[in-house]
Amino acid sequence: MTNTHSYNPSGVRHPVGVGLKAQHYQEVLESQPELAFFEVHAENYMMQGGNHLRFLEAIAENHPLSVHGVGMSLGSAEGLNTQHLAKFRKVVDEFNPWLISEHLAWSVHDGHYLNDLLPLPLNATTLTVVADNIRHMQDTIGRRILVENPSTYVSFNATDIPEPEYLGLLAERSGCGILLDVNNIYVSAKNNCFDAHEYVDAVPSAHVGEIHLAGHTVKDVDGSELRIDDHGSEVTDAVWSLYDYTIRRIGERPTLIEWDTEIPEFNVLVSEADKAREVMQKATSTEEAVDGAA
């Protein structure tokens, strides 16, 4: 397994990217935007041939890629699906992405895929399962992956390891890194009544290899607010503030703008990326960034 801990192998300062959507293929090729990278969902490129692959091949000639998995089901006690893993490896081998990531979640049971990224209780039992699955995935694809913290809406009585500590233990046991989704931290903190800043303080910053930012929706449920991580709007002011705090805490990291529903015009994504770059530049140009990249 190639176990690189370089946070910015492309050498770009304040690296910010956006999710690549089919609606924007042609515009990306024509405009050649000044973005550090594009993220793609691996599952969208596991087919044999077709326009999606041809466009991605052309775009990858000029832009580094981040491959983000949504169907590996790292939390499955039954282990990883070997066919899915083989297809994922083929995408990695073909495009040699800059970053590779998956979710701390499960979505497969008894061979059936569920249309969601489901959370799992954080304890010693699941830690062993997930760490084993991560090692299996990394050994198969020959690359280190980053594991993303989920957005959560409930808490489990069986959880006895705080999530930041759990992510750190996964990194130590498997050699993976952490994809820190700042929007997910904020959503989970509001839904489950904990302090998002304390969460960031507890994250082992040396293992953080990437950050995600996205929008979310607020729903009224029986008179209480429920925040839904839907990736369908601009990043909120509160999440921008938490991102600023995070960068000052851990230092510069590659940052992605996610927008997966209600897809806007491409210039809207670029504008969000510009905001992230400005926040990162300002946060890392002061003496207030306390940790830096370890």
Segment 55-73, tens digit of pLDDT:
999 999 999 999 999 999 9
Q: Quick one: the chain helix, strand, coil %, rounded to 5?
A: 40, 20, 40
Report the mean per-residue pLDDT for the chain. Answer: 90
Which pLDDT score is estimated for 242?
98
Which pLDDT score is estimated for 228?
85
The arithmetic mean of pLDDT across residues 147-161, rounded, is: 89
Segment 9-22, tens digit of pLDDT:
556 778 999 999 99
Lowest-confidence region among 26-30, 277-281, 288-292: 288-292
The answer to whether the beta carbons of residues 270 and 34 sit under 8 Å apart is no
Q: What percent of the chain clears pLDDT 70, i.e. is strictly above it?
A: 90
Which pLDDT score is estimated for 183?
96
| 266 pLDDT above the threshold of 80 | yes
> 150 Cβ partners below 8 Å, 6+ apart?
103, 104, 105, 117, 119, 181, 184, 188
The Cα 124–Cα 228 span in angstroms is 28
pTM of full prediction above 0.85: yes
Instruction: Of 156, 134, 152, give the one whose Cα is nearest residue 73.
Output: 134
| 253 pLDDT above the threshold of 90 | yes
Q: Amino acid letter at 224?
A: S
The Cα 64–Cα 148 span in angstroms is 20
Segment 156-178, tens digit of pLDDT:
888 999 999 999 999 999 999 99
Q: What is the DSSP letter of 291?
A: S
